Structure 1
Amino acid sequence: MASHDPFRDLDRLASSLLDTRRGPRRMPMDLYRDGDHYVMTADLPGIDPGSVDIDVDGQLLTIRAERTLASGDGVKWITREREAASFLRQLNLGQGVDTEGIAATYSNGVLTVTIPVSEKAKPRKVQVTSDQAAPVVPIEN
């Protein structure tokens, strides 16, 4: 027989009343450079891939996603700790990326966004020239 814990219920009620995250939530992410690409991975568990929306406006990358929870008619919940939520993340890309080449995949609850480095931002060698003329050697007759 399960025992009733009033402190757990009170804690849950207090957490819900004091929860200041009413707006879109930030998604945890990692960002690294791998050769000529930046790679961003973000945790989005339980997200329908069709709800993921990625926009690029100038140098601002915006990622939005929604998690909805099904609730059938006549269902009696025993406990429901998972919440429907919206997620938002914005990144300023800077000038060194190719915004036209950005690609994204979603697999096993992880969104991966690949951002190519622009040709102008890739390392290159610079030719050094001299403005000094070669020394003139007089020709003797």
Structure 2
Amino acid sequence: MRQNPFDDLEELLNRISKQVEEGMMTGGGLQVPGSVAVDVADEGEEFVVTADLPGYETDDIELTLSDGALRLEATREDETAFEEGEYVRRERTSKSANRRIRLPEPVDEEAVSATFTNGVLTVTLPKERGDDESKRIDIE
């Protein structure tokens, strides 16, 4: 019995579709082009956000914190072209990436710190401490 040639094509399309869907889903959210994949860890007293940003320099990255969310923006400028000759292949161009991460709890904005080492950005966000003292409530 002869196999339908479209069966192989359909199987290939199904595999591609599954890979695209899996590749776009990260951490329970949709990963859109230009978005940075991040890990957010709750370490008890603080949140630690880690993002891989290979090819970027510290000056290319901007972090802002507002309305309970951390915003990460990174822009890498296009390298200058050769003075002499021409490219045979050119795939590295200017690139920008961004991500807004909603934090699950308020953080102490004054104590936030960040490091960038070997293309890995680590942002430490200490949780905001409320009054640990209990307060008696009078009933009228």
The bucket for the TM-score relative to the shorter chain is 0.5 to 0.7
Structure 1 partner of 2:128: 118
TM-score (ref. length: structure 1)? 0.62
CA contact (8 A) 1:40 1:114 kept: yes
Structure 1: state its 5+ residue gaps. 1-22, 128-141
* Deviation string, structure 1 residues 11-46 (Cα, Å, up to 9, x no partner): xxxxxxxxxxxx971111111112311111101110
Tell me which amino acid in the other structure corresponds to 2:55.
G
Please give the secondary structure, in 2, of the residue aligned with 1:120. Answer: coil
Tell me which amino acid in the other structure corresponds to 1:79.
R
Distance 1:55 1:32 in 2: 19
Structure 1 partner of 2:41: 32
Structure 2: state its 5+ residue gaps. 1-31, 136-140
Check if 1:41 corresponds to 2:50.
yes
Identity of aligned residues (%): 31
CA RMSD between the two structures: 2.6
Aligned residues: 103
Q: Tell which structure's C-alpha radius of gyration is larger.
A: 1
CA contact (8 A) 1:96 1:120 kept: no
Structure 1 partner of 2:115: 105
Please give the secondary structure, in 2, of the residue aligned with 1:100. Answer: helix
TM-score (ref. length: structure 2)? 0.63
Q: After the TM superposition, which residues 1-141 of structure 1 pair with which residues of structure 2 at under 5 Å, given as runs?
A: 25-70=34-79, 71-120=81-130
